[in-house]
Amino acid sequence: MMQGKKAMQIVESENSNITLVVIALLSVYIFWGGTYLGMKVAIETIPPFIMAGIRFFVAGTVLYVLARLKGEQHPSVAEWKGAGIVGALLLLGGNGLVAWAEQKVPSAIASLLVATVPLWILAFNWLGGNKKRPALGVLAGVLLGFSGIAVLVLNTGGANSQNMDTIGMIALLIASVSWSIGSLYSRRAKLPASPLQSTAAQMMVGGALLIFVSFFLDDWTKLHLSELSVRSALALGYLIVFGSIISYTAYIWLLKNADPAWVSTYAFVNPIVAVFLGWFLANERLSPHAWAAAIIIVVAVMMITVFGGQRKAIERKEVVRGEGEGV
């Protein structure tokens, strides 16, 4: 009787954990996928670097307070410096340029070019001294992904019957490169041990840098509080609460409680969500070339995620087997 009751408790616990994983994944899928449209609406009446700066500084401060309430230590000077460099690359050079570019290109196109980050990371990691050759499936995904970028950039078909701005698309590519370099640097940077504290520090420093740079871009002369729309204010609130605080917290929780292969699926689900929301809510119309590029890029990122995950799983098994043989 006791064994049956214990078995039921185990099953209930597993079902509860699966439910939480699904909820957290949906949060990352939908909320992060919705940030592209959220930025597009927010910058209608809020200059992009000011908007991004407020978003990340406020969100980072909230996460920092939560981390301190959990009893986590204050970051050291070296950790603040590491977080500052990562925040500059990810948020200033990455997210700031995305927000700026969305003045010129549809949110769906922005999401597709940002989805190429795994391609750039693999390319830079390999060129930067990682002698381990990627799996053939990963290499095929990289080549396919870059062909998708070429289709998108070289055939500037329009949304809403307008040609997409070339400068905006170049800015998105630079943003993707900056985000990729920041992601690689974060692997060896001295950061707080707590993922929550690390994210908070990166957001706070990155947000402060975005606001600082906004003074040199003449953003503050373009900010007129009397013209601030309710739409933009609500979009900024969405970006802070759902796009940063909730999604990042869910992502950090997933890294500890879910299969990494599941977590990594956000890389190709987010652009699908972003393209759908841009079409459904913002009436963004993609050209045939853009749709072709969208399919190519999403499939490429999926290939990199799936085949890369398989290679890592095999390596983990080999390490475990080797450790077992040595005992």
pLDDT tens for 95-107 read 999 999 999 999 9
**Does residue 238 have a pLDDT over 50?**
yes
Query: Tell me: the pLDDT tens digits for 141-167?
Result: 888 888 888 888 776 544 444 456 889
**Does residue 186 have a pLDDT over 50?**
yes
CA-closest candidate to residue 46, choices 298, 234, 313: 234
Q: Which alpha helices (DSSP H) does the chain contain, by range?
A: 2-27, 33, 35-42, 48-69, 77-87, 97-101, 107-114, 117-127, 136-154, 166-186, 195-216, 219-222, 230-238, 247-257, 260-263, 266-282, 288-326
For 69-76, what is the mean pLDDT?
90
pLDDT of the residue at 308: 74
On whether the CB atoms of residues 101 and 172 are closer than 8 A, the answer is yes
pLDDT of the residue at 311: 53
Provide the 10 A C-beta neighbour count for residue 5.
9
Contacts (Cβ under 8 Å, ≥6 apart) of 225:
none
pLDDT of the residue at 309: 62
pLDDT of the residue at 6: 47
Contacts (Cβ under 8 Å, ≥6 apart) of 37:
107, 274, 277, 278, 281, 282
The percentage of residues in the chain with a pLDDT greater than 70, rounded to a whole number, is 84
What is the model's pTM?
Answer: 0.83
pLDDT of the residue at 132: 64
User: Is residue 130 left, alpha or beta, with left meaning phi > 0 and alpha meaning psi from -120 to 50?
Assistant: beta
Which carries the bigger pLDDT value, residue 254 or residue 60? Answer: 60
pLDDT of the residue at 321: 32
